[in-house]
Amino acid sequence: MANTMKALVKHDRAEGARLEQVPVPSPKTGEVLVKVTATAICGTDIHIYQWNKWAQRRIKPPLVFGHEFCGEVVALGAGVDDIALGTRVSAEGHFVCGKCYFCRTG
C-alpha cells in the first residue's frame, strides 16, 4: 500500500483548496481504513470551497474534503472483528465532532 494519497485540502479561511499528497492514516483501535474508489462534489463542498457565510459559521480549517464516498476496507485497527478486509463500504460523514484527527483530516 502507498504511504501517501491524494486529498483536496482546505487550509485557509478563504476561497479555494489545494489538491495535495498527504500521508495515508493508520487505523487506530476500533477503526478501519477505507481506500476510496468513488466520491463526488456535493453542495457542502461548494460552500466550503467558496468560503461563503454558511461555511464561515461551521467549518474550521484545516480539513480534507470528502464526506460522501464508497470504497474498500484495506486495513483494520486493533479490536475490529466485525468487518473483513476487502469489504465494500459506503459512508456519509456529516455527523462529526470536528475536533478529532479524522474530522480535521477527512
Q: Which residues are catalytic?
A: 44, 47
Concatenated DSSP letters of 23-88: EPPPP-TT-EEEEEEEE---HHHHHHHHT-HHHHHH--SSEE--SEEEEEEEEE-TT--SS-TT-E
